A and B are shown apart, each in its own frame.
Chain A
Amino acid sequence: MQLFNHNLMSLTSKTSVLDGLQRAIAPLLANSTYRRFSIFIGLILLWQVYVIVSGVPALLVPSPLQVLQVLFQDLANQKLIEGTLTTLTALLGGMAIGMILGTALAALSITSRWGQDLLSVLTAAFMPLPSIAILPLVMIWFGLTRLSIVLVIAHAATWLIALNIDTGLRTVNPTVLMVGRNLGRSGINLIREIMLPAALPYILTGVRTAWAFGWRTAIAAELVFGVAGSEGGLGWYINNSRYFLQTSSVFAGLVVIAVLGLAVDVLFRLIERRTVEKWGMKQQ
């Protein structure tokens, strides 16, 4: 054992610089975040090398550096920021409508049998419809306005939120409900103090999934809509860039969508960690 240690010592002294570097990196590589980050960087590097080596025209595949340059340029001249804000505004509007309608439908559903049947008929009819499929109809009814986009997003969000809140309220542990009633709570107090917190894991899942669907729908709607519309969002920015063969801008738009999607995902995960995970209520 001692001999082995000695050998090791002499070995390390020879390659002390490399070893020191390895020792500095090793704990980082043990961390999954850093590992994933290095994979990400590696793929970007691969992309850059491919563009340089293959000599593919920037019109088809711009290099990561070119994309980054356009990204900063369009962020600076507000084009991308305006587009992003437009899309996010529509998304928030659609989500707000979805949450109000969804909560109302779930409330109807748990308070009456007719409400329950209404929810199951509505979700059976509308859930299989990709929201983008109703865009033409909405455009006929409401014209080429932002309202049309908002309504399509609301369609994407409402059913998911209603179904999840309904399931959440229905699956509240009956014992916990009895505890609430035993303490003299009833009606709106029982819902607010016992049922809603108990249903929180489902509510969060509903909002999170609705957001993901809404986000996809928003971009898709803008891509279709943007051909004609004037004040388009990110989808329009991408489509417009394609029209002028500004491939770097198309990439820049995609990067913004990916980064925002990731950011919202992180936000939801943070909320979950501070609530349902901390309380041991997270659904598997």
Chain B
Amino acid sequence: MLNRNTSEPSAGTPLIVAENIEVLYGTRKRQRILDQVSFHVQQGEKFAIIGPSGCGKTTLLKAMAGFLPISAGKLQIANRAVTAPSPNRMVVFQDFEQLLPWKTVIENVVYAIQVTRPVARPVAVQQALDYLNLVNVVDASEKYPHQLSGGMKQRVAIARALAVQPQLLLLDEPFAALDALTRTQLQHEVNAIWRNTGVTIVLVTHSIQEAVYLGHRILVMNAKPGTVKAVVDTSQANDIDSDEFTTIAAHLRDLLVPSQFDAALQSQPYESNLQNIRS
């Protein structure tokens, strides 16, 4: 039922094709939020976007979700230009209040299922329970959102997004407001979800550790305007205790902190992992 696909990222047509995206924002004085942003994301990949605050990473995610129109460039997902939000690209927000407070946990998920595909209610309920089980909140299915902790709310939000069976899961700093322990737990679960469903994940985060742990590749962004600084391959650094993980994390830190950037370039041991799309 949960569409299982544990295969490695395929090398076929990319699921997401972004070429020279530009986003202008503001009504009077139009500000350039994103400039010349290009990247590809393969089907089944976990792709992290990281950058300083104000670099437009959330804007980029909202553009992929279809909430914000791009002003120039090309943004295609599953071979189609993104023009509006779609249940094929489900977003999990940072905001804990993203569940419908007047519906119980299970009804939140059932609603999402029933408005996106024609299934009978008993089937929808069973499927909702399966997805709640996947994120370990099935015990809370009869509760109302306000009775849940922040971590539980985010789990339900993930279950609701997955229940729609999207091709792409867009995570907008979903764990940023959680305590460290819950955050770590949920990071493990995202990896487990990915192994179970094979869904393509794009994750926006400001945590280097989270990006390295969850992402196969990391898009590092510059701020004002948001541009691509580098795309770093981290697929080899899965074990949080490995030397590789520590080195890549340190390297990313150097990329993100400008003063140390030059020094890092001179002695960079991981040049092979670094593909500068645009310098």
Interface residues of A (CB under 8 A from B): 173, 175-176, 178-179, 181-185, 189, 193-194, 197-198, 200, 275, 278-281
Query: B67 on the interface (CB 8 Å rule)?
Result: yes
Do residues A197 and B102 form an inter-chain contact, with CB atoms below 8 A? Answer: yes
| 7 sample A-B contacts, Cβ–Cβ < 8 Å, listed by A number | A179-B98, A182-B65, A183-B116, A189-B115, A198-B102, A278-B144, A280-B145
Query: B87 on the interface (CB 8 Å rule)?
Result: yes
Binds A, one of B3-11, B25-33, B88-96: B88-96
Do residues B93 and A280 form an inter-chain contact, with CB atoms below 8 A? Answer: no
Q: Which residue of B84, B90, B101, B115 contacts A281 across the interface (Cβ within 8 Å)?
A: B101
1/0 per residue, CB under 8 A from A, across B55-69: the answer is 000000000010100
User: In the assembled complex, how far is the CB of residue B140 from the closest CB belonging to chain A, in whole angstroms?
Assistant: 14
Do residues B115 and A173 form an inter-chain contact, with CB atoms below 8 A? Answer: no
Q: Which residue of B86, B95, B111, B146 contacts A173 across the interface (Cβ within 8 Å)?
A: B95
Do residues A194 and B112 form an inter-chain contact, with CB atoms below 8 A? Answer: no
**Chain A residues positioned under 8 Å from B87 (CB to CB):** 182-184
**Chain B residues positioned under 8 Å from A275 (CB to CB):** 102
Do residues B98 and A175 form an inter-chain contact, with CB atoms below 8 A? Answer: yes
Query: B164 on the interface (CB 8 Å rule)?
Result: yes
A-B contact number at CB 8 A: 64
Do residues A194 and B67 form an inter-chain contact, with CB atoms below 8 A? Answer: no
Do residues A178 and B144 form an inter-chain contact, with CB atoms below 8 A? Answer: no
Query: B268 on the interface (CB 8 Å rule)?
Result: no
Q: How many residues of B contact A (CB 8 A)?
A: 25
**Chain B residues positioned under 8 Å from A193 (CB to CB):** 111, 115
**Chain A residues positioned under 8 Å from B137 (CB to CB):** none
Do residues B144 and A279 form an inter-chain contact, with CB atoms below 8 A? Answer: yes
Query: B85 on the interface (CB 8 Å rule)?
Result: yes
Do residues A197 and B115 form an inter-chain contact, with CB atoms below 8 A? Answer: no
Do residues A178 and B85 form an inter-chain contact, with CB atoms below 8 A? Answer: yes
Do residues B93 and A181 form an inter-chain contact, with CB atoms below 8 A? Answer: no
Interface residues of B in 124-165 (CB under 8 A from A): 144-147, 164
Do residues A173 and B144 form an inter-chain contact, with CB atoms below 8 A? Answer: no
Interface residues of B in 99-126 (CB under 8 A from A): 100-102, 111-112, 115-116
User: In the assembled complex, how far is the CB of residue B128 from the closest CB belonging to chain A, in whole angstroms?
Assistant: 14
Q: Which residue of B67, B98, B115, B146 contacts A185 across the interface (Cβ within 8 Å)?
A: B115
Do residues B112 and A279 form an inter-chain contact, with CB atoms below 8 A? Answer: no
Query: B262 on the interface (CB 8 Å rule)?
Result: no
User: In the assembled complex, how far is the CB of residue A187 from the closest CB belonging to chain B, in whole angstroms?
Assistant: 13
Do residues B101 and A280 form an inter-chain contact, with CB atoms below 8 A? Answer: yes
User: In the assembled complex, how far is the CB of residue A215 from the closest CB belonging to chain B, in whole angstroms?
Assistant: 28
